[in-house]
A and B are shown apart, each in its own frame.
Chain A
Amino acid sequence: MTAVAENLTWTPVCQYAALEPENGVAALLPDGTQIALFRVADGTAYAVSNLDPFSQAMVLARGIVGDRGGVPMVASPMHKQAFDLRTGQCLDNPETCIPTYPVRVADGMVEVAGR
């Protein structure tokens, strides 16, 4: 997740080292947006909206991380729908997609760009 436009505002969220592999945490952006931040097995960090669109609860950061056919995904802890961490596409319902956010690591700090 490096090729991003210059005019984004980056918010430092936490130390990269604080992210456990294959796990997620929630973070609050300055505008009140809640994001779910994940570190997957190969070390890549992804950020998506924390809102599960099916249950309307802010819970995606608490889902199980893994892969479906090689696609990195998180499964909603509410009713198990899976979302592609790269694109936000729901893998169980083609009509549903959740917002994703650019992520970078600078000086050991994970930064997320809001929208």
Chain B
Amino acid sequence: MTRTLVVVGHGMVGHRLVQALRDRDTAGTWRVVVLAEEPRPAYDRVALSSYVDHWDAGKLALENADHAGDDLVELHLGDPVVAVDRDARTVTTASGLVRGYDALVLATGSRPFVPPVPGHELPGCFTYRTVEDLDDIRAAAEGGGVGVVVGGGLLGLEAANVLRQLGLDTHIVEMAPRLMPLQVDEGGGALLRRLVEDLGPSVHCGVSTKEIAEAPDGLRVVLSDDTELTTGMVVFSAGVRPRDDLARACGLDVGERGGVLVDDACRTCDPNVYAIGEVAAVHGRCYGLVGPGYAMAEVVADQLLGGTATFPGADMSTKLKLLGVDVASFGDAHASTGGALEVVHNDPVSGCYKKLVISDDAGTLLGGILVGDATSYATLRPLVGQALPTDPGALIAPAGSAGTGIGVDALPDEGQVCSCNAVTKGTIKDAIVVGGCTDVAGIKACTKAGTTCGSCVPMLKQLLSSCGVEQSKAICEHFEYSRAELFEIIRATRVRTFSELVEKHGRGRGCDICKPAVASILASLGAGHVLEGEQATLQDTNDRFLANMQRNGTYSVIPRVPGGEITPEKLLVIAEVARDFGLYTKITGAQRIDMFGATVDQLPHIWRRLVDAGFESGHAYGKALRTVKSCVGSTWCRYGVQDSVGLAIELELRYRGLRSPHKIKAAVSGCARECAEARGKDFGVIATEEGWNLYVAGNGGFRPRHADLLVSDVEKETLIRLIDRFLMFYIRTADRLQRTSTWLESLEGGLDHLREVIVDDSLGICAELEEAMSEHVANYSDEWRGVLEDPEKLSRFTSFVNAPGIPDPSISFREERGQKVPVLLPVPTVGQTNEVAEVKQ
């Protein structure tokens, strides 16, 4: 018999329950009705602040959140439950829907606490919990100005960061004497305040908000010390309160400090009713983090299926990077355990504060606080409650000094590596050793570890290598270095030939992996023509013949058509060349014309004609900038707001010939309609009324990815400066054949880190990056012209060394739709196994 489960609230925890139940209830014993107040299916609230990076709510979507295709799940959005009748076992929604239940789960979460300050309901006052909240804040921030955040805790600092990203002059008001009072102690708080203030926001601690009043140009906020702030908006982020009103109304017990009172099994005083997530008060205690909520969801799924799981209590550790400052707090951070000892390392110069709390016998780690540098969080947190593997001082010694970097090996199998999803080291090891996971993505898919806040990902990597999964960074057998390291070696030592490099820094003679990679690095560093001397032998065939090899060994030719703009005269030249050499022609996806079927010996003749007519190499063959595609733009288009064609041409001419770890595609759209599909490109520019928005690290192809917004409304000079930095930073640090999209995803710290480096210049390398780009621009010359002018380079374009001028007799064509296409040789096929071609990214 199928029973009915009604879930009230489709937040992160409610969703996890439905998912867990549907995964395990293979017999279909439960039908699930989900009644949700919000207008969209459950989304990743933990990542809510990242919404300002893209304003794309789709990116926050949780896996399978709409339960599409599952007949046993009925999801009603935008229709909150208003009443529960426990005798009749029914619930009623605002729209009048009535549903009966066999089991009811309350997963209604919390609401932001808004202190009852006079004026807290005025327009311009916001909370910070939902996508809609952020949309409202964004709209109000339109004109810039000042923003005040009430609350200097975890969420308050997140909100402050968002206001700062929206360009507001930000103030943080915190009643406690320090920021993040729940997580950090006085020492950590002092440093945190300094680091936050260094980034811009003004911090007011130890004061409360006395009054908010309407002022001529916005709101006037009066603090308890009579400071007055004139602001465009106030964001309340002063804690949360469980949404237990439904429970109260139907007579369920609630906790002393609110929340629906439940036992270890998450059951309320009514055995048919459960509560999970932030609304649940397990033995009176509410948990404001998603990890414990997920654990409760798993418990209830188990109970509904006849199991006996109970909630084990939870770890309230947190790590976050707020305003670019690392803060982590874990275990008994405030040393409240009797006799606990503290070991503190406070370095105001380098801006880091670390405290470990250990048991009175100095044998067990109890907790700790890290501010400024929380890299050791991933290893320290799972050690809580465990014997210390080494002297506690060594655990928090500054990075780089001896004794740091205790690894994952120190952790017992039952230690939790991922606290968000309660995954132990043992489970992850199983996934690697038994389940055969060979990378972080595999572990995520198999165990859910690393899928929520991501702070445990470094541990997952360590576990892979400690289980013997080769995570070698060596580019190939000839060099022990990654591409980024090779780049730095070549840059620093000014080695300019492969032979010298492999002799001094590698072994053997090189291969088809390291040679093209080094050739590309040399080219990025401006080592002259790509076919000069030894460099010619390093190139993949496409670069060796400056054309794209096709399946029958012939080549295709693509001249550059910057921005896709071309005159009729030039079109005629292409048409004549294609006709005279009998080439198949096709318009490419990148707004230019491809001519196919040229033999090696034809290439120079074809290019002589093209170069004479003013064409240059289009680098369609290279790991280099391909094109900057454009829409028609404001010159002709009646919707366009900026000249996208002009900018695309300027950018394409600036970056033409730039060699990189993989190809680079770009586009410029002249208005928000985005006809150039700029967000599918490595860098994309979209015109706004005020200037240009720059998006980075998009991709089409095999793994589509929407580009992320890096900056908005900048003028052209800033735009170009940022693209210069972005491209050069990518060229220096990416792996071989890594597109910008995968590069950004693998970059520790992701988009925030990228923004810090290339917008805020946190590493102090921007001047160098710009300098490198201006060298590229100054030294550019057309590769094909270089070949035509050099007899030695030209001499390589022959089919046979002993029969110059004779084309390869094995090449033949037939006709299809009025053009020629290749005929393959009539040779028996050999097995296509072990194809070692790289997957096109």
Contact = CB atoms under 8 A, between A and B. Distances in A.
Interface of A: 12-14, 18, 20-23, 25-28, 32, 34, 37, 40-41, 51, 53-59, 62-70, 72-73, 75, 77-82, 92-93, 95-96
B512 A79 contact: no
A90 B406 CA distance: 44
A79 B477 CA distance: 19
12 contacts: A21-B537, A23-B537, A26-B800, A32-B809, A57-B551, A63-B512, A64-B516, A67-B510, A81-B834, A82-B511, A93-B833, A95-B831
A14 to B, nearest CB: 5
B540 A77 contact: yes
B836 interface: yes
Interface string B798-841: 01111100101111000000000000110101111111111000
Given A27-B801, A77-B540, A59 B549 contact: yes
A79 B515 CA distance: 16
Contacts of B811: 58
Given A64-B516, A66-B514, A81-B836, 19 more contacts: A13-B802, A14-B802, A26-B800, A37-B801, A41-B509, A58-B553, A58-B825, A59-B549, A63-B541, A64-B539, A64-B540, A66-B510, A66-B512, A69-B477, A75-B512, A78-B549, A82-B836, A92-B834, A93-B831
A50 B424 CA distance: 55
A26 B807 CA distance: 11
A14 B801 contact: yes
Nearest to B801: A25
Nearest to A11: B802
A70 B478 CA distance: 10
A72 B511 CA distance: 10
Given A66-B509, A69-B477, A95 B537 contact: no
Contacts of A27: 800-803
A96 B831 CA distance: 8
Nearest to B545: A62
Contacts of B400: none
Contacts of B536: 20, 23
A58 B541 CA distance: 13
B512 A82 contact: yes
Contacts of A73: 511
B651 interface: no
A102 to B, nearest CB: 17
A11 B168 CA distance: 79
A59 B545 CA distance: 12
A53 B830 contact: yes
B58 interface: no
A37 B801 CA distance: 9
Indicate the member of A28, A57, A77, A81 with the most B CB atoms within 10 Å: A57
Contacts of A40: 509
Contacts of A82: 511-512, 836
A70 B538 CA distance: 18
Contacts of A54: 830, 832, 835
Given A51-B827, A64-B512, A75-B512, A58 B832 contact: no
B515 A64 contact: yes
Contacts of A22: 509-510, 534, 537
B802 A28 contact: yes
A106 B606 CA distance: 37
Contacts of B552: 57
Interface in B462-509: 477-478, 508-509
Contacts of A93: 830-831, 833-834
A18 B437 CA distance: 50
A3 B582 CA distance: 47
Contacts of B706: none
Contacts of A55: 551, 553
Q: What secondary structure prevails in chain B residues at the interface with A?
A: loop
B807 to A, nearest CB: 11
B776 interface: no
Interface in B227-282: none
Given A64-B540, A69-B477, A78-B549, A58 B808 contact: yes
Nearest to A20: B537
Interface of B: 477-478, 508-512, 514-516, 534, 536-541, 544-545, 549, 551-553, 799-803, 806, 808-811, 824-825, 827, 829-838
Contacts of A62: 541, 544-545, 549, 553
A73 B509 CA distance: 10
B477 A68 contact: yes
B541 A59 contact: yes
Given A13-B802, A37-B801, A79-B835, A96 B508 contact: no
A75 B544 CA distance: 14
B839 to A, nearest CB: 12
Given A26-B801, A66-B510, A96 B806 contact: no
Nearest to B838: A80
Contacts of B836: 79-82, 92
A8 B826 CA distance: 28
Contacts of B540: 64, 77
A70 B802 CA distance: 30
A66 B513 CA distance: 10
Contacts of A96: 830-831
A13 B798 CA distance: 14
A25 B552 CA distance: 17
A41 B538 CA distance: 13
B512 A26 contact: no
Contact of A80 (B508, B512, B801): B512
Contacts of B544: 62
A93 B673 CA distance: 50
A78 B740 CA distance: 25
A56 B829 contact: yes
B512 A56 contact: no
A51 to B, nearest CB: 7
A52 B290 CA distance: 56
Given A32-B809, A55-B551, A70 B831 contact: no
Nearest to A42: B509
A12 B825 CA distance: 27
A95 to B, nearest CB: 6
A82 B512 CA distance: 9
A34 B810 contact: yes
A26 B825 CA distance: 17
Indicate the member of A12, A14, A68, A92 with the most B CB atoms within 10 Å: A68
B130 to A, nearest CB: 50
Given A20-B537, A28-B806, A64 B800 contact: no
A112 to B, nearest CB: 9
Contact of A64 (B477, B538, B551): B538
A62 B801 CA distance: 12
Contacts of B509: 22, 40-41, 66-67, 72
Contacts of A14: 801-802
A79 B802 contact: no
Chain A to chain B: the 7 pairs with minimum beta-carbon distance, closest first: A77-B541, A75-B512, A57-B553, A66-B511, A25-B801, A64-B512, A79-B837
B801 A95 contact: no
B808 A34 contact: yes
B550 to A, nearest CB: 9
Contact of B511 (A32, A34, A75, A92): A75
A56 B537 contact: no
A23 B508 CA distance: 16
B825 A57 contact: yes
Contacts of A57: 551-553, 824-825
Contacts of B515: 64, 66
A64 B514 CA distance: 10
Indicate the member of B549, B811, B838 with the most A CB atoms within 10 Å: B549
A27 B824 CA distance: 20
Contacts of B834: 81, 92-93
A60 B545 CA distance: 14
B801 A67 contact: no
Nearest to B541: A77
Nearest to A55: B551
